[in-house]
Protein backbone atom coordinates (compact mmCIF):
# COMPACT_ATOMS: atom_id res chain seq x y z
CA UNK A 1 0.00 0.00 0.00
CA UNK A 2 1.28 3.46 -0.91
CA UNK A 3 2.18 5.92 1.85
CA UNK A 4 1.58 8.73 2.67
CA UNK A 5 -2.17 8.44 2.06
CA UNK A 6 -5.36 10.25 3.16
CA UNK A 7 -6.16 9.32 6.75
CA UNK A 8 -9.05 10.13 9.05
CA UNK A 9 -8.11 7.99 12.00
CA UNK A 10 -5.67 5.58 13.61
CA UNK A 11 -6.44 2.35 15.46
CA UNK A 12 -3.72 1.40 17.95
CA UNK A 13 -3.17 -1.96 19.52
CA UNK A 14 -1.93 -1.72 23.13
CA UNK A 15 0.21 -4.64 24.25
CA UNK A 16 3.49 -4.62 22.35
CA UNK A 17 2.70 -1.32 20.63
CA UNK A 18 2.35 1.28 23.39
CA UNK A 19 3.58 -0.71 26.38
CA UNK A 20 5.09 -4.09 27.20
CA UNK A 21 2.78 -6.42 29.06
CA UNK A 22 4.11 -9.50 27.25
CA UNK A 23 6.11 -10.72 30.26
CA UNK A 24 3.14 -10.19 32.57
CA UNK A 25 0.89 -12.22 30.26
CA UNK A 26 3.53 -14.90 29.86
CA UNK A 27 4.02 -15.35 33.59
CA UNK A 28 0.27 -15.50 34.20
CA UNK A 29 -0.35 -18.02 31.41
CA UNK A 30 2.63 -20.13 32.49
CA UNK A 31 1.36 -20.17 36.07
CA UNK A 32 -1.97 -21.45 34.76
CA UNK A 33 -0.39 -24.03 32.45
CA UNK A 34 1.91 -25.27 35.23
CA UNK A 35 -1.09 -25.71 37.53
CA UNK A 36 -2.63 -27.98 34.89
CA UNK A 37 0.55 -29.87 34.05
CA UNK A 38 0.58 -28.47 30.51
CA UNK A 39 3.97 -27.64 28.96
CA UNK A 40 4.23 -23.93 28.18
CA UNK A 41 7.24 -21.92 27.11
CA UNK A 42 8.18 -18.74 25.23
CA UNK A 43 7.51 -20.38 21.86
CA UNK A 44 4.00 -21.42 22.93
CA UNK A 45 3.41 -17.91 24.24
CA UNK A 46 4.22 -16.42 20.81
CA UNK A 47 1.14 -18.14 19.39
CA UNK A 48 -1.04 -16.16 21.82
CA UNK A 49 0.03 -12.70 20.55
CA UNK A 50 -3.01 -10.71 19.48
CA UNK A 51 -5.43 -13.44 20.57
CA UNK A 52 -8.07 -12.72 23.20
CA UNK A 53 -8.25 -14.40 26.60
CA UNK A 54 -10.62 -17.26 25.78
CA UNK A 55 -8.92 -17.85 22.44
CA UNK A 56 -5.56 -18.04 24.18
CA UNK A 57 -6.92 -20.49 26.73
CA UNK A 58 -8.28 -22.65 23.91
CA UNK A 59 -4.84 -22.74 22.31
CA UNK A 60 -3.22 -23.79 25.60
CA UNK A 61 -5.78 -26.50 26.34
CA UNK A 62 -5.85 -27.86 22.81
CA UNK A 63 -8.10 -30.92 22.53
CA UNK A 64 -7.60 -32.07 26.10
CA UNK A 65 -10.87 -33.43 27.56
CA UNK A 66 -12.56 -32.31 30.76
CA UNK A 67 -12.67 -28.57 30.19
CA UNK A 68 -16.27 -27.52 29.81
CA UNK A 69 -17.39 -23.91 29.47
CA UNK A 70 -17.75 -23.43 33.23
CA UNK A 71 -14.26 -24.69 33.99
CA UNK A 72 -12.76 -22.68 31.13
CA UNK A 73 -14.41 -19.56 32.52
CA UNK A 74 -12.93 -20.23 35.95
CA UNK A 75 -9.47 -20.84 34.51
CA UNK A 76 -9.60 -17.63 32.46
CA UNK A 77 -10.70 -15.67 35.53
CA UNK A 78 -7.79 -17.12 37.51
CA UNK A 79 -5.31 -16.17 34.80
CA UNK A 80 -6.71 -12.66 34.78
CA UNK A 81 -6.27 -12.29 38.55
CA UNK A 82 -2.61 -13.29 38.22
CA UNK A 83 -2.16 -10.88 35.31
CA UNK A 84 -3.68 -8.01 37.30
CA UNK A 85 -1.23 -8.76 40.10
CA UNK A 86 1.59 -8.52 37.55
CA UNK A 87 0.54 -5.08 36.26
CA UNK A 88 -0.43 -3.61 39.63
CA UNK A 89 2.73 -1.50 39.74
CA UNK A 90 2.44 -0.17 36.17
CA UNK A 91 2.60 3.59 35.68
CA UNK A 92 3.40 6.24 33.04
CA UNK A 93 7.05 5.21 33.03
CA UNK A 94 5.98 1.87 31.54
CA UNK A 95 4.94 3.49 28.27
CA UNK A 96 7.29 2.66 25.42
CA UNK A 97 9.55 5.54 24.41
CA UNK A 98 7.75 7.54 21.74
CA UNK A 99 4.29 6.20 22.57
CA UNK A 100 2.92 9.41 24.02
CA UNK A 101 4.45 11.43 21.19
CA UNK A 102 2.82 9.16 18.59
CA UNK A 103 -0.60 9.65 20.18
CA UNK A 104 -0.08 13.40 20.49
CA UNK A 105 0.95 13.74 16.85
CA UNK A 106 -2.21 11.97 15.70
CA UNK A 107 -4.42 14.14 17.88
CA UNK A 108 -2.65 17.33 16.80
CA UNK A 109 -3.31 16.39 13.16
CA UNK A 110 -7.03 16.10 13.90
CA UNK A 111 -7.17 12.34 13.39
CA UNK A 112 -9.55 10.13 15.36
CA UNK A 113 -7.48 8.12 17.84
CA UNK A 114 -8.90 4.72 18.76
CA UNK A 115 -7.78 1.66 20.69
CA UNK A 116 -8.43 -1.79 19.24
CA UNK A 117 -6.94 -4.10 21.86
CA UNK A 118 -7.99 -7.68 22.56
CA UNK A 119 -7.37 -7.03 26.26
CA UNK A 120 -10.42 -6.51 28.44
CA UNK A 121 -8.06 -4.85 30.91
CA UNK A 122 -7.16 -2.10 28.43
CA UNK A 123 -9.14 0.70 30.17
CA UNK A 124 -7.42 -0.08 33.48
CA UNK A 125 -4.00 -0.17 31.83
CA UNK A 126 -4.62 3.12 30.01
CA UNK A 127 -5.44 4.78 33.33
CA UNK A 128 -2.28 3.40 34.91
CA UNK A 129 -0.22 4.62 31.96
CA UNK A 130 -1.82 8.06 32.11
CA UNK A 131 -3.04 8.09 28.50
CA UNK A 132 -6.74 7.34 28.90
CA UNK A 133 -7.80 10.84 27.78
CA UNK A 134 -5.84 10.59 24.54
CA UNK A 135 -8.30 8.16 22.92
CA UNK A 136 -11.58 9.11 21.29
CA UNK A 137 -12.84 5.55 21.71
CA UNK A 138 -11.62 2.38 23.40
CA UNK A 139 -13.40 -0.56 21.82
CA UNK A 140 -14.65 -3.15 24.30
CA UNK A 141 -13.47 -6.53 22.94
CA UNK A 142 -16.33 -8.20 24.78
CA UNK A 143 -18.78 -6.23 22.63
CA UNK A 144 -17.59 -7.63 19.28
CA UNK A 145 -18.61 -11.03 17.98
CA UNK A 146 -15.18 -12.28 16.92
CA UNK A 147 -11.66 -11.60 18.11
CA UNK A 148 -8.56 -11.09 15.98
CA UNK A 149 -7.72 -12.24 13.29
CA UNK A 150 -11.35 -11.36 12.47
CA UNK A 151 -11.77 -7.67 11.60
CA UNK A 152 -14.60 -6.96 14.08
CA UNK A 153 -12.71 -4.83 16.60
CA UNK A 154 -11.14 -2.63 13.92
CA UNK A 155 -14.46 -2.18 12.14
CA UNK A 156 -16.03 -1.23 15.48
CA UNK A 157 -13.29 1.35 16.06
CA UNK A 158 -13.88 2.95 12.64
CA UNK A 159 -17.66 2.96 13.07
CA UNK A 160 -17.43 4.53 16.53
CA UNK A 161 -15.57 7.57 15.20
CA UNK A 162 -17.38 7.76 11.87
CA UNK A 163 -14.32 7.13 9.70
CA UNK A 164 -14.49 4.84 6.67
CA UNK A 165 -12.17 1.83 7.17
CA UNK A 166 -10.00 2.62 4.10
CA UNK A 167 -9.20 5.98 5.73
CA UNK A 168 -7.89 4.27 8.89
CA UNK A 169 -4.37 3.15 9.75
CA UNK A 170 -4.10 0.15 12.07
CA UNK A 171 -0.96 -0.34 14.16
CA UNK A 172 -0.18 -3.85 15.42
CA UNK A 173 2.65 -6.06 16.63
CA UNK A 174 1.05 -9.44 15.90
CA UNK A 175 0.30 -11.43 12.76
CA UNK A 176 -3.29 -11.93 13.94
CA UNK A 177 -3.64 -8.17 14.32
CA UNK A 178 -2.26 -7.42 10.85
CA UNK A 179 -4.65 -9.98 9.35
CA UNK A 180 -7.55 -8.34 11.20
CA UNK A 181 -6.55 -4.87 9.96
CA UNK A 182 -6.43 -5.99 6.34
CA UNK A 183 -9.72 -7.86 6.70
CA UNK A 184 -11.22 -4.56 7.83
CA UNK A 185 -9.91 -2.92 4.61
CA UNK A 186 -7.42 -0.75 6.49
CA UNK A 187 -3.72 -0.09 5.99
CA UNK A 188 -1.52 -2.02 8.41
CA UNK A 189 1.59 -0.67 10.09
CA UNK A 190 3.50 -3.44 11.84
CA UNK A 191 5.83 -3.04 14.79
CA UNK A 192 8.59 -5.57 15.26
CA UNK A 193 12.00 -6.77 14.09
CA UNK A 194 12.77 -7.07 10.36
CA UNK A 195 10.84 -9.91 8.71
CA UNK A 196 8.53 -10.46 11.68
CA UNK A 197 5.30 -9.28 10.03
CA UNK A 198 5.67 -9.87 6.29
CA UNK A 199 2.02 -9.06 5.56
CA UNK A 200 2.17 -5.56 7.07
CA UNK A 201 2.12 -2.70 4.57
CA UNK A 202 5.12 -1.24 6.37
CA UNK A 203 7.18 -2.38 9.36
CA UNK A 204 9.01 -0.25 11.94
CA UNK A 205 11.11 -1.48 14.88
CA UNK A 206 9.17 0.37 17.59
CA UNK A 207 6.59 3.08 18.19
CA UNK A 208 9.53 5.44 18.77
CA UNK A 209 10.12 5.22 15.00
CA UNK A 210 6.58 6.36 14.16
CA UNK A 211 6.40 9.59 12.16
CA UNK A 212 2.87 10.49 11.15
CA UNK A 213 4.04 12.33 8.02
CA UNK A 214 5.31 8.99 6.65
CA UNK A 215 1.75 7.61 6.58
CA UNK A 216 -0.75 10.48 6.44
CA UNK A 217 -1.28 12.70 3.42
CA UNK A 218 -3.99 15.26 2.75
CA UNK A 219 -7.46 13.85 3.31
Which positions are annotated as active-site residues? 13, 15
Is 45 annotated for ligand binding? no
Is 31 annotated as ligand-binding? no
Tell me whether residue 89 is annotated as binding: no
Residue 34 annotated in ligand binding: no
Buried b / exposed e across 16-41, counting CB within 10 Å, b at 16+? bbbbebbebbbebbbbbbeeeeeebe
How far is CA 114 from each of CA 77, 140, 153, rounded to the nearest angstrom? 26, 11, 11
Q: Does the annotation list 72 as a binding residue?
A: no
CA distance 176 to 218: 29
Q: Is 121 annotated as a binding residue?
A: yes
Q: Is 7 annotated as a binding residue?
A: no
* C-alpha–C-alpha distance, residues 50 and 9, integer Å: 21
Binding positions are 13-15, 29, 48-53, 56, 79, 117-121, 148, 172-173
The annotated binding site for Mg(2+) is made up of 13, 15, 172-173
What residue numbers does the annotated binding site for substrate cover?
Answer: 13-15, 29, 48-53, 56, 79, 117-121, 148
Amino acid sequence: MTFPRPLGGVAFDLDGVLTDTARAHFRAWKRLADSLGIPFDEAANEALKGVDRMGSLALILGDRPGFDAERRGALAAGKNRWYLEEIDSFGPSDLFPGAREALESCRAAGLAVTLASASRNAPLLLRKLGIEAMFDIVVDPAAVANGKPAPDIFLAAAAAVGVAPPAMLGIEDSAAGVTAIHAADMAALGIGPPGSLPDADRLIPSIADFRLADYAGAA
